[in-house]
C-alpha cells in the first residue's frame, strides 16, 4: 500500500466523526481492473474533510478519514456483504457498479472471493479496528460516546432512488442506533429551519457503521447524515467545492454537533 489506510485525529470530547467514503485512491496494482472512468472516483463523498474539518477541531471532536476509494472496498458495508436496503438497488462491499448503474470493472476483472477477502483484511479491518478503538477510548473518558457518520451524495441518482433526495437525510436506524432523545433533538433542529429540506429515517436510515456501532444500551450512540452535495459543492464533474454554499450550511452542522455534545445520558 502506497499510503496509510486512514488518518485519525483524536479529540477531547465524546464525539467521533467518521467519513467512510471520502477516499479517492485506487492502488496501482488494481487500476487495470477498472473501467477508465472509475479512476476519477466520481461516487466519492467529495470535500467532506474540508466541510467538517474545522468544525471538528473547534469542537474537540475526533475525526477518522480513509484514503482509499469506496470503489476498492466500501467501509460502510457489512463484511459478509448482506444488503443494507433489501428490495432496493444496493452497492456491495466491493462495488461492481457506478451509482448510475453501469459496470465499474472491465469484463472478467471484478474481484473474486480471494480478492475480496484480501481487501477486507488490508483495508476494511484496519479502519474498523481504529474506529472501534477510538469509540472505546472516548467512552472510557466520558462515560458515553456519540458517533456521527458523515456522508454526501448527488441529489438525483435514479438507479439508487426515485426523484430528488431531501437536502439533509438523518438516519438513526428508526431510532435504534441512539437514545430516542438524540433522534428527537436532531429532528427538532432540522425541522426548525427552512433553508434545507430534511427527513429523519427516510431512504437512508443508516449504513453498517451506524447500525453496528450504535449500541445505546452500552452508552454508544450513532447517527448518520446523508447530505445532498448541492448543499456545499457543484454536483457535476469536476466536483468543485463551493465555499459560498458551505458557509451557509456549516452553521447548521455546528448546531447539530453542539446538540450532540450538550446531550447527556
Give the largest CA-CA distance in the chain.
53
pLDDT digits (tens, 9 = 90+) for 157-181: 888 888 899 999 999 999 999 999 9
Asked if residue 191 has pLDDT above 90, the reply is yes
Per-residue confidence (pLDDT) for residue 233, from 0 to 100: 98
161: helix, strand or coil: coil
All three cell numbers of 245: 454554499
Give the pLDDT confidence score for residue 160 in this predicted structure.
Answer: 81
Residue 35 CA neighbour count, 13 Å, CB half: 14
Buried b (16+ CB within 10 A) or exposed e, 72-98: bbbbbbbeeeeebeeeeeebbbbbebb
Q: What are the tens digits of pLDDT across the range 4-49?
A: 999 999 999 999 999 999 999 999 999 999 999 999 999 999 999 9
Tell me which residue of 213, 70, 71, 218 sits closest to 147, measured CA to CA: 213
Q: What is the pLDDT of residues 199-214, one digit of tens each?
A: 999 989 999 999 999 9
CA 154 to CA 246: how far, in whole Å?
A: 15
What is the CB-side half-sphere exposure of residue 164 using CA atoms within 13 A? Answer: 8
Q: How far is CA 53 from the centre of its chain?
A: 14
Question: With left for phi above 0 and alpha for psi between -120 and 50, is residue 212 left, alpha or beta?
Answer: alpha
The number of beta carbons lying within 10 Å of the beta carbon of residue 125 is: 14
**What pLDDT is recorded for position 2?**
61
Q: Which residue has the cell 459543492?
A: 233
For strands 168-171 and 220-228, give the pairing: antiparallel
What pLDDT is stored for residue 84 in this prediction? 59
- End-to-end CA distance of the chain: give it in Å, rounded: 41
**Is the pLDDT confidence value at 90 over 70?**
no
As beta bridge partners, residue 153 has 228
Alpha carbon of 68 to those of 75, 118, 192, 208: distances in Å?
10, 14, 37, 18
- Residue 123's CB: how many other CB atoms inside 10 A? 24
Least Cα distance to 46 among 223, 191, 224, 231 occurs for 231
Instruction: Render pLDDT for 216-232 as a digit per residue (tens, 0 to 9).
Output: 999 999 999 999 999 99
Q: How confident is the model at residue 251 (pLDDT cuts 50, 70, 90)?
A: very high
Cα–Cα distance between 39 and 75 in angstroms, integer? 18
Residue 89 has pLDDT above 60, yes or no: no
**Residue count of the chain:** 265
pTM: 0.94
pLDDT value of position 1 = 53
3-state secondary structure (DSSP) of residue 259? helix
**Is the bond leading into 263 cis (omega within 30 degrees of zero)?**
no
Average pLDDT of the chain to the nearest whole number: 94
Amino acid at each position: 500500500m502506497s499510503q496509510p489506510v486512514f488518518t485519525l485525529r483524536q479529540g477531547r470530547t465524546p464525539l467521533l466523526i467518521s467519513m467512510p467514503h471520502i477516499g479517492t485512491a485506487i492502488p496501482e496494482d488494481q487500476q487495470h481492473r477498472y473501467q477508465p472512468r472509475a479512476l476519477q472516483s466520481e461516487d466519492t463523498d467529495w470535500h467532506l474533510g474540508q466541510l467538517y474539518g474545522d468544525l471538528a477541531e473547534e469542537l474537540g471532536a475526533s475525526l477518522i478519514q480513509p484514503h482509499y476509494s469506496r470503489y476498492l472496498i466500501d467501509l460502510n458495508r457489512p463484511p459478509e456483504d448482506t444488503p443494507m436496503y433489501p428490495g432496493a438497488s444496493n452497492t456491495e462491499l466491493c462495488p461492481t457498479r457506478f451509482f448510475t448503474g453501469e459496470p465499474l470493472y472491465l469484463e472478467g476483472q471484478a474481484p473474486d472471493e480471494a480478492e475480496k477477502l484480501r481487501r477486507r483484511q488490508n483495508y476494511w479491518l484496519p479502519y474498523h479496528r481504529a474506529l472501534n478503538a477510538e469509540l472505546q477510548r472516548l467512552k472510557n473518558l466520558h462515560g458515553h460516546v456519540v458517533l456521527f457518520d458523515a456522508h454526501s451524495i448527488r441529489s438525483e441518482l435514479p438507479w439508487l432512488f426515485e426523484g430528488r433526495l431531501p437536502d439533509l437525510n438523518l438516519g438513526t436506524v428508526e431510532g435504534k442506533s441512539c437514545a430516542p432523545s438524540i433522534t428527537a433533538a436532531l429532528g427538532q433542529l432540522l425541522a426548525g429551519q427552512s433553508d434545507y429540506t430534511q427527513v429523519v429515517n427516510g431512504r437512508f436510515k443508516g449504513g453498517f457503521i451506524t447500525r453496528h456501532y450504535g449500541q445505546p444500551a452500552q452508552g454508544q450512540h450513532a447517527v448518520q447524515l446523508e447530505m445532498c452535495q448541492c448543499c456545499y459543492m457543484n454536483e457535476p464533474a469536476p466536483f468543485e467545492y463551493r465555499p459560498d454554499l458551505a458557509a451557509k450550511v456549516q452553521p447548521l452542522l455546528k448546531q447539530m454537533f453542539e446538540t450532540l455534545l450538550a446531550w447527556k445520558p
